[in-house]
Amino acid sequence: MTTATLPETILRRAAPQDAPKLALLGAATFLTAFAADHPGQALVDHCAHEHSVKRYADWLANPDYAFWMIETPLGAPLGYAMLCPPEIDITPDPCALELKRIYTLPGWQGAGMGRRLIEAVIAEAKARGAPSLYLCVYTVNVAAQRFYARFGFEKVGQQKFMTGDVPFTDWILRKPLG
């Protein structure tokens, strides 16, 4: 499928009943993004824990967390983003927030869904009064780094990301919202 043939999509806030969709989408996009250089069993174990229906249900029940989904008109999930309190290895600005996850299915990339998701997250972070927005990006994901730079994110640190017992390095990026 090319971007020229992509059907219209719908951006909306996720609701508690979306936990199964988010879990499936989260695992699928994580596997797709990291299968090339992450150990297989550790990757599967990570997805089983971090992308479980219970995990998403717990997050959706917490008012400090917010999710957006992009779907087809028939309700098939294509992408999502997650906003939450910062969970980073540097001391964040007081009251800052983190764009914890933003993914779209590979066959649907390039159609502006990432832009729509990140704009929704930035707008919500501003509405919540956050002075800045953080995110973490894998150091070898140059395409994602360029995408975030277009929205004003700059590198402010780095941290380890564990998949099983294998460490990977992420850059910590920050965008001032004031």
Per-residue model confidence as pLDDT tens for the chain (178 residues): 444 466 789 999 999 999 999 999 999 999 999 999 888 999 999 999 999 999 999 999 999 999 999 999 999 999 999 999 999 999 999 999 999 999 999 989 888 999 999 999 999 999 999 999 999 999 999 999 999 999 999 999 999 999 988 899 999 999 999 8
The helix, strand and coil proportions of the chain, stated in percent and rounded to the nearest 5, come to: 40, 30, 30
- Number of domains the chain is built from: 1
Phi, psi values for residue 107, rounded to 5°: -65, -10
Q: What is the pLDDT of residue 38?
A: 87
CATH classification at residue 60: 3.40.630.30
* Per-residue pLDDT, 132: 98
Answer whether 146's CB lies under 8 Å from 126's CB: no
pLDDT at position 69 is 98
Residue type, 17: Q
- What per-residue confidence (pLDDT) applies to 5? 62
CA distance 159 to 118: 22
Give the integer Cα–Cα distance in Å for 150 and 115: 10
Q: How far apart are CA 85 and CA 7, in angstroms?
A: 34
Instruction: Tell me which residue range forms the domain holding 47.
Output: 3-176
Whether residue 104 contacts residue 150, with contact meaning beta carbons closer than 8 Å, is answered with: no
Q: From 8, 12, 7, select the one nearest 70 (Cα to Cα).
A: 12
Task: Tell me the one-letter amino acid at 153.
Answer: F
Do residues 67 and 14 make contact, with C-beta atoms less than 8 angstroms apart?
Answer: yes
H-run or E-run covering 154: strand 154-163
pLDDT of residue 6: 64
